[in-house]
């Protein structure tokens, strides 16, 4: 970094005085300055003091898939903005049409894209479609939406009603009705003592459907790999059975790809690792790697058709808008982001480096007794930390935070899963950009190794 930011104290004070940071207890800033990030290149970011950090969490929340400092994306956005920056989504724009086409080429079976700005918003669109389909085609029944314990779908009221992390809901209710939880599928924290755990966990969804009444259930919304709820990969046999259950009861399958989408797991979308055929896919973070705000709801022609059966009925179409959805910086950035992933072979790199990361994490598990479980897919991995391997008692949150802090002090940013009342705040998250190379991976793993040693001695 050059010396331009050496005198940044006025900005630091402006931040302290006026910015309300996300998911952040501001009392912390009574004792230290806020961290202000001023530059990024590749996998490195610099703060206001000139300190550099190797970012092993892609912008904190699994977002900057193609890394920082991509001038070609900035240029694509600039070129688009000087042509036309905005028009409401009832009309089309060139990047919105082109990106919808490119995106649906990657999602066989899905052919329609509804644009929005955030993951929460894209999920809300799907929920609203399910509700409208229930009204239009099922006499008001099939209005319930199932979600899974430990999954997260966003922060707006509908998305939060579908939140399997109860601590996020605490103090924000009441929520909209009709969102029903199904059990999680984390085999490490077994709920059933059976051989074929995946099928049993999926059968638990069927139990909920039967309890609620199949004719009242419209959709099932799941993350392909649960992110903030503990980096939970599905057990064998899970998805096949989930798909069967959805077909059996005519339930729309909504896969929330906000984290896994755009290459994070080594496939374009997480669900493609498991042979799933979804009715809705929502994606956001990696779609433009944070270079512009964009999210997408991708769906089938079958769902789309249900909204144009009655052209004379003024209530029959999807009466929804997102002022900034799809216009125009977002899809321009997303097109270039997708080109980079393709031309630089980043899916292949994700698969290759994902193996290196997994092997490294298993080595750490052999060495450190506090590592209870290692999970992940591609460049999306988690280490579940325990106080005792036999009882699986979660490691105290303060200690988990200390490990994150020790890595930070060494200039490596890692993450941890969401706060929780019932014990899943104990998973460290590693999700480097899809461009990560061997030397960066070695540094991440060595730093984590040292932090695990230091925190427990
Ligand atoms: N879905 C998942 C799986 C997420 O992890 C998140 C955010 O972390 C969201 C949805 C919400 O996305 P946004 O914060 O863009 O609204």
> Model confidence over 129-183: pLDDT tens digits?
999 999 999 999 999 999 999 999 999 999 999 999 988 999 999 999 999 999 9
| Structure letter (DSSP) for residue 34 | P
- Whether residue 307 sits in one domain with residue 352: no
Best residue for ligand 1 mutational test, from 117, 254, 259, 270 (most atoms within 8 Å of Cβ): 259
Q: What is the pTM of this model?
A: 0.97
pLDDT at position 419, please?
66
The answer, yes or no, to whether any atom of ligand 1 lies below 6 A from the CB of 154, is yes
Cα(38) to ligand 1 centroid in Å equals 24
- Whether residue 182 sits in one domain with residue 156: yes
- Whether residue 332 sits in one domain with residue 370: no
pLDDT at position 207, please?
98
HSE-up of residue 147 (Cα within 13 Å, Cβ side): 26
- Whether residue 408 sits in one domain with residue 324: no
- Whether residue 398 sits in one domain with residue 333: no
Question: Under a CB-based contact definition with an 8 Å cutoff, are residues 234 and 265 in contact?
Answer: no
Using the Cα atoms of residue 285, residue 295, residue 47 and residue 45 in order, give the sign of their dihedral: positive
- Whether residue 195 sits in one domain with residue 283: yes
Domain CATH number, residue 44: 3.90.1150.10
| Structure letter (DSSP) for residue 232 | B
- Whether residue 282 sits in one domain with residue 153: yes
- Structure-block tokens of residue 268: 């374009």
- Whether residue 357 sits in one domain with residue 292: no
Each residue's pLDDT tens digit, 349-374 = 999 999 999 999 999 999 999 999 99
The residue contributing the CA closest to ligand 1 atom 12 is: 119
d(CA 218, CA 142): 4
The answer, yes or no, to whether any atom of ligand 1 lies below 6 A from the CB of 47, is no
The answer, yes or no, to whether any atom of ligand 1 lies below 6 A from the CB of 261, is no
Number of neighbours of residue 98 by Cβ within 10 angstroms: 14
Domain CATH number, residue 126: 3.40.640.10
Number of domains in the chain: 2
pLDDT at position 417, please?
85
pLDDT at position 128, please?
98
CA distances to 22, 25, 64, 412, 435 from 439, in Å: 32, 35, 19, 13, 12
Q: Which mean pLDDT values do the consecutive 10-residue runs of the chain (457 residues) have?
A: 66 95 92 96 97 97 98 98 96 98 98 98 98 96 97 98 93 97 96 97 98 98 96 97 98 98 98 97 98 98 94 92 95 98 98 98 98 98 96 93 97 86 80 98 98 94
Residue with tokens 């929804």: 320
Using only the alpha carbons of the chain, give its radius of gyration: 22
Best residue for ligand 1 mutational test, from 126, 258, 259, 416 (most atoms within 8 Å of Cβ): 258
d(CA 436, CA 43): 7
The residue range of the domain holding 363 is: 3-64+345-456
H or E stretch covering 388: strand 381-388
The answer, yes or no, to whether any atom of ligand 1 lies below 6 A from the CB of 124, is no
CA distances to 69, 123, 167, 404, 449 from 282, in Å: 26, 6, 23, 30, 35
The answer, yes or no, to whether any atom of ligand 1 lies below 6 A from the CB of 257, is no
HSE-up of residue 230 (Cα within 13 Å, Cβ side): 27
Residue where a domain stops, chosen among 275, 310, 343:
343
H or E stretch covering 256: strand 252-256
Give ipTM to 2 decimals.
0.99
- Whether residue 363 sits in one domain with residue 307: no
235 Cβ neighbours under 8 A, 6+ residues apart: 185, 187, 197, 198, 201
The answer, yes or no, to whether any atom of ligand 1 lies below 6 A from the CB of 258, is yes
Residue where a domain stops, chosen among 343, 373, 407:
343
The answer, yes or no, to whether any atom of ligand 1 lies below 6 A from the CB of 287, is no
d(CA 200, CA 238): 8
- Whether residue 26 sits in one domain with residue 106: no
Residue where a domain stops, chosen among 310, 328, 343:
343
Strand partners, 310: none
| Ligand 1 atom showing the smallest separation from residue 118 Cα | 15
Collapse the DSSP code of 170 into the 3-class scheme (helix H, G, I; strand E, B; otherwise coil) and give the result: coil
356 Cβ neighbours under 8 A, 6+ residues apart: 438, 441
- Structure-block tokens of residue 242: 């989930």
- Structure-block tokens of residue 292: 């512009």
- Whether residue 60 sits in one domain with residue 78: no
- Whether residue 317 sits in one domain with residue 251: yes
| Ligand 1 atom showing the smallest separation from residue 295 Cα | 15
Residue with tokens 């922060």: 155
- CA 128, 230, 380: angle at the middle one, nearest 5? 90
Identify which of 310, 27, 298, 284 has the alpha carbon closest to the alpha carbon of residue 156.
Answer: 284
| Structure letter (DSSP) for residue 226 | B
The answer, yes or no, to whether any atom of ligand 1 lies below 6 A from the CB of 120, is yes
- CA 307, 313, 314: angle at the middle one, nearest 5? 90
The answer, yes or no, to whether any atom of ligand 1 lies below 6 A from the CB of 330, is no
The answer, yes or no, to whether any atom of ligand 1 lies below 6 A from the CB of 153, is yes
- Mark out the alpha helices in 290-345 (DSSP H runs): 301-305, 329-343
């Amino acid at each position: 970094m050059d010396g331009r930011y050496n005198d940044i104290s006025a900005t630091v004070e402006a931040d302290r005085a006026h910015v309300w940071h996300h998911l952040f207890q501001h009392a912390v800033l009574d004792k230290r300055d806020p961290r202000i990030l001023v530059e990024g290149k590749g996998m490195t970011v610099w703060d206001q003091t000139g300190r550099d950090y190797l970012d092993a969490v892609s912008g904190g929340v699994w977002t900057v898939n193609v890394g920082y400092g991509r001038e070609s994306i900035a240029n694509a956005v600039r070129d688009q903005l000087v042509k036309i920056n905005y028009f409401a989504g009832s009309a089309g724009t060139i990047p919105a049409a082109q990106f919808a086409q490119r995106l649906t080429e990657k999602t066989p079976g899905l052919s329609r894209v509804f644009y929005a700005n955030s993951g929460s918003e894209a999920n809300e669109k799907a929920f609203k479609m399910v509700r409208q389909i229930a009204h239009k085609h099922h006499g008001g029944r099939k209005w319930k939406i199932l979600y899974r314990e430990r999954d997260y779908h966003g922060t707006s009221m509908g998305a939060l009603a579908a939140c399997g992390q109860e601590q996020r809901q605490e103090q924000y209710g009441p929520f909209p009705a009709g969102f029903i939880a199904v059990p999680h599928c984390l085999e490490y924290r077994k709920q059933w003592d059976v051989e074929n755990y995946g099928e049993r966990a999926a059968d638990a969804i069927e139990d909920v459907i039967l309890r609620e009444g199949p004719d009242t259930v419209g959709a099932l919304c799941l993350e392909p790999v649960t992110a903030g709820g503990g980096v939970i990969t599905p057990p064998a046999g899970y998805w096949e059975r989930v798909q069967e259950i959805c077909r059996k009861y005519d339930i729309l399958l909504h896969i929330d790809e906000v984290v896994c989408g755009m290459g994070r797991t080594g496939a374009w979308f997480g669900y493609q690792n498991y042979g799933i055929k979804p009715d809705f896919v929502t994606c956001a973070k990696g779609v433009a790697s944070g270079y512009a705000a964009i999210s997408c709801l991708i769906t089938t022609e079958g769902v789309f058709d249900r909204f144009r059966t009655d052209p004379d009925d003024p209530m029959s179409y999807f009466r929804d808008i997102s002022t900034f959805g799809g216009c125009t910086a977002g899809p321009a950035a997303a097109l270039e982001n997708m080109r980079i992933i393709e031309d630089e072979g980043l899916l292949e790199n994700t698969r290759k480096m994902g193996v290196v990361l997994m092997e490294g994490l298993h080595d750490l598990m052999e060495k450190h007794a506090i590592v209870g479980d290692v999970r992940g897919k591609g460049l999306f991995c988690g280490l579940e930390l325990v106080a005792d391997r036999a009882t699986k008692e979660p490691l105290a949150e303060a200690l988990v935070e200390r490990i994150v802090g020790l890595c930070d002090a060494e200039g490596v940013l890692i993450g941890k899963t969401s706060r929780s009342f019932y014990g899943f705040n104990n998973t460290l998250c590693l999700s480097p950009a899809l461009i990560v190379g061997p030397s960066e991976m070695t540094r991440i793993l060595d730093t984590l190794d040292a932090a695990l040693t230091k925190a427990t001695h």
